[in-house]
Each structure stands twice: as C-alpha cells, then as structure tokens.
Structure 1
C-alpha cells in the first residue's frame, strides 16, 4: 500500500508516523508545491503545481497511477477544498481521498460558516461579525466589549490575526487584515467574498484546549482526545497535556455526530467559567496532533488498517492521561537527510 501526503509542509513527524504504520508493506510519498522539510522524510517526494493551478489535479492523478498510490491524505486547509471536489475523479482510478465532504470542509475553512453552524446547534462560541458596525452595535448593547479579535475569514495559524483595544485600532487593523489577505495565499478563497473577507470576534479569557475528534473513514465516531494548551507560540501549541474532561469529550462526540467528518477534526476550545466554547474547527490533522500521538494515540495506524479493511483496536485511539509534550526546533541538513533515507 502506497500513500501520498499532499501539502505536507514541515510536518515531517506525520510522514514518520505513516511510515511506521505501514512498516515494510508500502511507501509514503510526500508532495508539496515547493521544497519543504517534510519531503525529506518521505520514501519518495515530488514538487507539484500550485494547489489552484489547473494542472494540479491532473498532475496528482498521473502521479498516483504511475506510483500505485492507494490513498491521498491532504494536510493543508486549502488543499482540502480542492481535493474534496475531486473525490470522484480519484475514486475512478482506484485512489481513496481521506477528506471530509464539501459541506464540512466549507464550514471548517470559512470561519463565518463555522460560527453560523455552531450557533445553529446551540454550541457556545465567541460572538462573531463581518461588519464593524455590527460589532459596535453589540458593544453599545452591552453584549460585548473591547478588546476584539480581527482575523481572516478564511485563514489558518496566526496569519493577520490582530487584537484591537479601541475603535481606532479596530478600523485600522480591519483594513490591514484585508490588505494582508490580498497579498498572501489566502487571497484565492477570500476572493469568494472579497468585501467580507475579515471577521471581528469576541475575545475569550479562559483556559484554551485542543481536541482531536476522531471518526473512522465512514464518519463513525471513535474518540475525543482532550489536551490542555500550556504554552502557545505564533498560533501553534508549544506545550500541552492530555486530560480527562467529560464536558469537552461530549462536545467532541456531538460535533462528530453532526459533521460525520472523516479522520481527524482538530478543534480549538476555551473553557470560561466552566462553560465550553468552540473557537475553530479544522477537518484535518492539526498542529496539536503530535501531543495526542505522544500520549499513545495512533491515528495513522488506524487509517492504514481502515484502508486495508482490518479491524482497529480501540486502544490505539485512546490517550494516556496526564502526558505532557513539548515541541522542539531542529535544523535538518543534507547529512541528516541521507541518514533518514537509509533508515
């Protein structure tokens, strides 16, 4: 069984997780639109056209056929939208695409749609607005107060996320976010509604958590792993601890039933005065997954087993409680790459 991880970026750890899951039963191929560290870990790697290039899907289809790829696992939000629209094309050539439905990808990628989805099912979530006037009206009515968060409607990580302490800052940062979006890779999705490409959001003050909500390849709920975010850096979790939290686990189970997502649903949550709020959802492996893996969860192994139509031991999708993980930074050079290729 050969697998292809697309838009892998710097997630070399995921490449290794899938290589370990496959063992000597197949290869892990890694694709990206430019050279990246994750490509150094793959059994084979390839530079693809840009995601929005008209040749992107034809290139991947040809690559899959030539290299006998059985499944594609996209790792980047924008890639999810392109590939979910092409599931049928890949299925016709015998390739599975491990991605959720168009509807769920749209809900997760578009933070305004995320907000509407959550409030429609009575989940707690920060108050969110598309217009400055609507945010100011909420403040005047006493439903919200400064500081407010300004960020891209379509976006990920910490790109163009600002905190406004007053009206003047709100107006300036709102326009700056629009400019930043136009000059970044976020411009394509934002062009779907260019005038409403920025959201204004209530700032929550509480403990932040990350959830890995796991469904099988048929959208059946498996488990929710809860991690307390102990330290953050540039929108990514630096230190986290696995916890037992029945309230957040229930949130995970409810979201899984509603979305019927495929694989992992990465969710950011806050607990404020004992109330659980959902901030964002990402229908993919998130930056917090390594903490779950370190605590004993092995979703890559489960995915490989599901693809092979094998039964999965529920124990491999459960985390040990109280495990603290720390992210590290390392430099990878040619010498290290040669060692990795031989191992």
Structure 2
C-alpha cells in the first residue's frame, strides 16, 4: 500500500505517523504540496503540485498516483477537500481510494453559515450567527445580541480575518477589514461564490476552549470521540491541551457523527457557557489537535491503513489516556 498525503503544509508529524503505520506493509508515504516545505522532505518521496484551483491540479494528481502506484489519498487541508470529493470517482477508476467525506458534508464544514444552519437544524448548541450586517446591527440594537461580537469569514480557516468588536464603530471598521483580507488571501476562491455574503457576525462566548475529534469508519459509522481541554492557541491551532473524559462532549460527538455522516476524522472546536457546550466549527479532516490524541495513545493513521486493508476496527488504535498534558514546540529546520 502506498499513500499520498496532499497539501501537507507543515504537518510533518502526520507524514511520520503514516510512515510508521505503513512499515509492516513495506508501503511508502508520498507527500504533495504547492510550495516546498519541511514536511515534504519527511516523506519517502514528494512532489510539488499546481495550485489547488488550477485546472491541471486533479489531472496532475491522477498522473502522479498512476506513476507511483498510489492506492490511498488523504488531504490535510480544507481547500483541497471539495475538489477531491467531487473527483473521488476519477481516482476510484484508477484504483485509488480517496479518504474524504461526500461533497455535501465538505460543503457544510467549509461554509460556516451552512455549519450554523446544520447545527441549529439538529439541535446542537452553537453561538448565534448572522450573515447580514444589517440584521446583526438590528439584533444588537434590540438586545437580541450583545457586544462584543466576532467578525469572521464565512469560508475561513486558521485565524485569517477573525476579529472581536466591542462597539458599532469597531464593527463597521473590522467588517470592511475582513472583506479586504478575504479578497487578498486564498480565502477569495471559495468566497467568490457569494462575496457579498462572505462575512459572519457571531455571538462571542468568552470561555475556555475545548476540542473534540469525532471518528467514523470508512462506511460513515460512528466509532468514538476524543475530548480535550485547550490551554493555549496559536494562529488558530491548538498549542497546548490536556486530554479529558467528558460525557457531554462525547454525546455531542456522537450526535455530530449520526447527523453529518462524515468519513474518518471530524475536528471540532467547542466553547462552554453556563455548563453547556457550544460547537463553534467543523473541519472534515485531521486537525491541529490530532497529535494530542496520538501522543495520548490513539493511532488513527494506523487504523485508516487497517481499514483500507479490509481489517476490522481495533480498540487499541482508538483509546486515549485522560489527563495527558501535551504541548507543541517550534523547531527551526533547513528546507
């Protein structure tokens, strides 16, 4: 079995986790990215790809998979997911299993307005959100919404374009600023679908942050939920966290699995207010909190390899120890 990880970015740890998972099978991990990174160099072999939105992107990947006898493809980046999901059958036709959720699931996760509507529809707590600037201001004037509020891109990732406004003047300025940041970054591609409704104004819940990873098998069946209390964040990613057991978060994870029907890992951020958890967003991929689960005992790369080899779910791959404190480090490297 050979696995191709696309859009690896800086996730060298995932490259190495998959290399370890493939050792018993004598398989190779191939990595792809549009610019050269240290994570690429950690793979057995790597390639530089056209830009994701390039017309040549999928053809390039298919050709690369054929030449290198790739059998499994996994993306590590949100923008990659909708394109791969739409072309999943093309890869299947050449014998490559793309581990990605259905296009409708990816759309719900990548589009934070659809995420909000999905969560409301399924009675899962989430911060009150507006897509209309005028409606948000009306709600603030009528005390249906209170300052501070969060302004963020509808199609966003990381910490790009996320701000907190404490009054109307700040809201007006920051709303325009977010629009400018969207149009000058890679967020412009998905946002171009509806640029006039590409910004959300959201209730600000000021609390500790929590994270869950909802694990489904490749047939979309619920397997388990990993829970963490986030202690520090950096650029939208978890920097330090402690693994926990929490029945409310686990129940949210199971409800998300059953309602969404994703494949593999669903990464979700949560906030807490008055003892109730609120789901902030959904990411249908390995997220920045996965290494915390891995170092606490889980091994999802190994489980995916086993699923792709038609082996059953192994409890040993899906158990994490509680109260494990883990932190990320910054390591300078030569590229």
Q: TM-score range by the shorter chain?
A: over 0.9
Higher mean displacement: 124-133 or 44-53: 124-133
Residue 156 in 1 paired to residue 157 in 2? yes
- Partner of 2:138, secondary structure, is helix
Q: Note if contact 1:206-1:273 (Cα within 8 Å) is conserved in structure 2.
A: no
Alignment of 1:321-336 (within 5 A): 321-333=322-334
CA distance in 2, matches of 1:236, 1:33: 21
Which residue is equivalent to 1:120? Answer: 121
- Partner of 1:126, secondary structure, is coil
Which residue is equivalent to 2:22? Answer: 22
Alignment of 1:204-243 (within 5 A): 204-243=205-244
Which residue is equivalent to 1:82? Answer: 83
Please state how far the C-alpha of 1:11 moved relative to its aligned partner: 0.2
Which residue is equivalent to 2:173? Answer: 172
Alignment of 1:1-343 (within 5 A): 1-24=1-24, 25-333=26-334
CA distance in 2, matches of 1:245, 1:315: 20
Q: Report the TM-score, using the length of structure 2 for normalisation.
A: 0.98
Please state how far the C-alpha of 1:21 moved relative to its aligned partner: 0.4
CA distance in 2, matches of 1:136, 1:272: 23
Please state how far the C-alpha of 1:137 moved relative to its aligned partner: 1.7
CA distance in 1, matches of 2:74, 2:94: 16
- Partner of 1:23, secondary structure, is helix
Please state how far the C-alpha of 1:316 moved relative to its aligned partner: 1.4
Query: Residues 224-245 of structure 1, C-alpha deviation per residue, up to 9 Å, x if partnerless?
Result: 0000001112211111000010
Please state how far the C-alpha of 1:3 moved relative to its aligned partner: 0.2
Q: Note if contact 2:136-2:201 (Cα within 8 Å) is conserved in structure 1.
A: yes
- Please list every run of 5 or more consecutive structure 2 residues that lacks an aligned counterpart in the other structure: none
Q: What do you get for the CA RMSD once the two structures are aligned?
A: 0.9
Please state how far the C-alpha of 1:252 moved relative to its aligned partner: 0.1
Please state how far the C-alpha of 1:98 moved relative to its aligned partner: 0.4
Please state how far the C-alpha of 1:140 moved relative to its aligned partner: 2.4
Q: Note if contact 2:122-2:259 (Cα within 8 Å) is conserved in structure 1.
A: no
- Partner of 2:55, secondary structure, is coil
Please state how far the C-alpha of 1:333 moved relative to its aligned partner: 1.9
- Please list every run of 5 or more consecutive structure 1 residues that lacks an aligned counterpart in the other structure: 335-343
CA distance in 2, matches of 1:316, 1:67: 28
CA distance in 2, matches of 1:140, 1:116: 23
CA distance in 2, matches of 1:144, 1:248: 26
Displacement over 4 Å in runs of 4+: none
CA distance in 2, matches of 1:115, 1:224: 21
Please state how far the C-alpha of 1:141 moved relative to its aligned partner: 2.5
- Partner of 1:69, secondary structure, is coil
Q: Report the TM-score, using the length of structure 1 for normalisation.
A: 0.96
Please state how far the C-alpha of 1:259 moved relative to its aligned partner: 1.0
Higher mean displacement: 298-307 or 225-234: 225-234
Q: Note if contact 1:207-1:272 (Cα within 8 Å) is conserved in structure 2.
A: no
CA distance in 2, matches of 1:279, 1:138: 20
Aligned residues: 334
CA distance in 2, matches of 1:124, 1:310: 36
